[in-house]
Structure 1
Amino acid sequence: MLPSERRARLVELLRRRGTVRVHDLAGELDVSAITVRRDITLLADQGLVHRVRGGATATASVDAPGPDRVPHVVEPATAPAQPTVGMVVPSLDYYWPDVIKGVREAAAGADVRVVLRGATYEAADELRQLARLVDAVGVDGLLVAPTTTGDEGEALVRWLRSADVPVVMVERTPAEGYREAVESVVSDHPRGAAMAVRHLAERGHRRIGVSTTVTSPTAPHVRRGWLEACARLGLPVEGTPDVCTVDRRDTAWPAALDDLLDACLASGTTALLVHSDPEAISLVERCQERGIRVPGDLAVVTYDDEVAELSDPPLTAIRPPKAAVGRAALELLAARLRDPDPGRPAHRVVIEPRLIVRSSS
């Protein structure tokens, strides 16, 4: 049904029965409870229904015959059911555990249940997990870090656009075309990269390169921050290493690493911003094998700060606010569940990373 048809059917059911529970309506209309609540809010604003919370019974005006009576929607007399939030993240062993920790901390304070699912940076896998959370688990809302590239990514985008439950994207920003109720919480990765460039420039480095990985959704934001910071500080980018390499687990990584170091030596580059920690640690190890001193010949700042302090030497790092991102995402979704008004404006939250200075710079 179209939304207008669904709302007309909802009013018809209410006028015929007088008192109906939200979850009964959701089952009859084959939509989620949150969708019914949104419809009820809209219809109540129009004066077509009257919402009664708790265990109220229908009033005499509701029982009275006639087309002008105003139906009452009665929710359960017991305490409201604990909202259930589904969360799908692309990894359970790198970057995302701290985000999940933040979500769980906020969920405990908001009395929200979280159902977690891990994916594999594959849009089809993410879509399958999301659909099961909505259809089988019956979650009231979703937290997701979706993959949106390729044909499967486009299919996932279409699904998110039409989702009947509120969605908050985590470390992703909704593209043009999402419905307004899709909200987001992200780290300010461009600003984090700019922090690294400024830190290195303040230590006298004039040619600062950047290395990112082709598979990372964060890479474009890190590179943009590097470019903007170099422009503001008057640092040269032409001839400076600006590479997007394969993942360190790829068989082509050793050759890509040597090519990067050769480019640094040839161009007089004395500092590098590297995303992410495993690639930066591997680079430092290769520097030691080739007799390139860190930080004496090449200063290194890594982006992520998952295992940066375990390097030798410990790596200066940009630390995205992972736990804070998780807390803010859950709080946004909980606020949307408490206030399902379709007219509530969408929120976009951006949180600043931190610079952690160690021996490598």
Structure 2
Amino acid sequence: MTVSDSAAPLPDERRAQVVELLRRRGVLRVNELASELDVSAITIRRDIALLASQGLIRRVRGGAALLRRPVAEAPISQAPGDRPPPQPAPDSAEEAKAQVTIGMVVPSLDYYWPDVIRGVREAAAASDTRVVLRGATYQAADERRQLSWLVDSVGVDGLLVAPTTTGEDGEALVRWLQSAEVPVVLVERAAVVGPYQEAMESVVSDHVFGAAMAVRHLAALGHRRIGVITTRESPTTPHVRRGWRQACGELGLGLDDALDADTVDRRDPDWPHELDDLLDECVASGTTALLVHSDPEAISLVERCQERGIRIPDDLAVVAYDDEVAELCDPPLTAVRPPKAAIGRAAFALLADRIADQDAYRPAHRVVIEPRLIVRSSSS
């Protein structure tokens, strides 16, 4: 059995080709080497890590370069005035060519996510990293299109993404992300993959803790019937509801009688009718406090209460979840504030570490950051 000339080179041969390409061209990015040698970016990252450990090349951000050699001392026979040729400075244009570029895909550019983006940009600016941002629409197909463009056309070194993870399209997107040739960190999302349900790397707010904190605040004020209102389509809804249920159970509060509603959002034509039904149920059940996700729904609820003569907070205390615009309500709403900018900074740091480490066996990291409760007039 013979190996054809077109067969892929053996690992040692491929690494020798990496060194030769760097010798001829100075500095190359990971995706350039992967394209030249027709292998995955992960394979090239492993090759770079091994060659660097052997002292044959050096890593630079997003790629590799040959080791710089010290300028040799001039021979004794050197003519007076002769000087060795100048050597490139450590931070030359070659280094700039290897600047790390990361792609970021978020489902909204005008609610919740701007502060997350700000956190990423602040951290990226401090490390001279380029960020290419794309906005999606809470649709897995749209997210996949944006991500593919970042990987295939931009050639990013890593991805920060808040993907759809549910439904057939969402599950397919998670599998695509898990097999991507660049490092991926999920932002405000979590997912598991493979037969052993291994977690993907992620940075998330502890929404379960945040919702439970709101319930404990209301219970400390004497409320025994604390309800919850969430929107059906929000990825945050399951976590808020779990935190509400856990805290009510721990505190011995009645779950059977309190308002427990999963509704359309306020932009839906059915929202006004659902809202009136919710308030009727609230009165009938003796519910005296509500946790409402998110701010727009909470503000709309307060406005309708005022129209119906339900006093806030005397008859009904309200805590909003998100704290995007809760303070602008009249009265200002007590709110749970997820650590949005901190989420962005932590996600960037995790991705940067993953890119720099280049260890295929590095364990997955899952970072969880606690929200804060901001107490205002709607609950006191």
Amino acid in structure 1 at the alignment position of 2:297:
E
Q: CA deviation at 1:42?
A: 5.6
Q: Is the counterpart of residue 79 in structure 1 residue 79 in structure 2?
A: no
In structure 2, do the counterparts of structure 1 residues 38 and 77 end up closer, same or farther at CA, with 3 Å as the change threshold?
farther
CA contact (8 A) 1:56 1:77 kept: no
CA contact (8 A) 1:32 1:138 kept: no
Superposed, 1:118-197 pairs within 5 Å as 118-177=135-194, 182-197=200-215
Query: Runs of 5+ in structure 1 lacking a partner?
Result: 1-5, 59-75
Distance in 1 (CA, whole Å) between partners of 2:39 and 2:148 is 13
Residue in 1 aligned with 2:66? 55
Q: CA deviation at 1:183?
A: 1.1
In structure 2, do the counterparts of structure 1 residues 7 and 105 end up closer, same or farther at CA, with 3 Å as the change threshold?
farther
Residue in 2 aligned with 1:29? 37
In structure 2, do the counterparts of structure 1 residues 260 and 277 end up closer, same or farther at CA, with 3 Å as the change threshold?
same
CA contact (8 A) 2:165 2:191 kept: no
CA contact (8 A) 2:190 2:199 kept: no
In structure 2, do the counterparts of structure 1 residues 105 and 179 end up closer, same or farther at CA, with 3 Å as the change threshold?
farther
Greater gyration radius: 2
Instruction: Decide which moves more: 322-331 or 109-118.
Output: 109-118
CA contact (8 A) 2:228 2:244 kept: yes
2:236 pairs with one of 209, 218, 232? 218
Q: CA deviation at 1:181?
A: 8.4
Query: Runs of 5+ in structure 2 lacking a partner?
Result: 1-6, 23-27, 59-64, 70-91
In structure 2, do the counterparts of structure 1 residues 13 and 135 end up closer, same or farther at CA, with 3 Å as the change threshold?
same
The count of residues paired between Structure 1 and Structure 2 equals 336
Q: Is the counterpart of residue 331 in structure 1 residue 332 in structure 2?
A: no
In structure 2, do the counterparts of structure 1 residues 355 and 57 end up closer, same or farther at CA, with 3 Å as the change threshold?
closer
Distance in 2 (CA, whole Å) between partners of 1:16 and 1:112 is 28
Q: Is the counterpart of residue 309 in structure 1 residue 327 in structure 2?
A: yes
Amino acid in structure 1 at the alignment position of 2:262:
C
CA contact (8 A) 2:175 2:193 kept: no
1:286 pairs with one of 301, 304, 309? 304
Q: Is the counterpart of residue 204 in structure 1 residue 222 in structure 2?
A: yes
Q: CA deviation at 1:240?
A: 1.1
Residue in 1 aligned with 2:14? 13
TM-score (norm: length of structure 1):
0.87
Q: CA deviation at 1:57?
A: 7.8
In structure 2, do the counterparts of structure 1 residues 7 and 294 end up closer, same or farther at CA, with 3 Å as the change threshold?
farther
Amino acid in structure 1 at the alignment position of 2:315:
D
Deviations 1:69-89 (A, max 9, x none): xxxxxxx99326110000000
Identity of aligned residues (%): 71
Q: Is the counterpart of residue 104 in structure 1 residue 112 in structure 2?
A: no
Q: CA deviation at 1:163?
A: 0.2
Q: CA deviation at 1:114?
A: 0.3
Instruction: Decide which moves more: 194-203 or 174-183.
Output: 174-183
Q: CA deviation at 1:35?
A: 4.4
In structure 2, do the counterparts of structure 1 residues 357 and 337 end up closer, same or farther at CA, with 3 Å as the change threshold?
same
Q: CA deviation at 1:55?
A: 3.5
The CA RMSD measured in Å over matched residues stands at: 2.4
Q: CA deviation at 1:7?
A: 8.8
Residue in 1 aligned with 2:262? 244
Distance in 2 (CA, whole Å) between partners of 1:296 and 1:274 is 17
SS in 2 for 1:79: helix
Instruction: Decide which moves more: 206-215 or 9-18.
Output: 9-18
CA contact (8 A) 2:19 2:57 kept: no
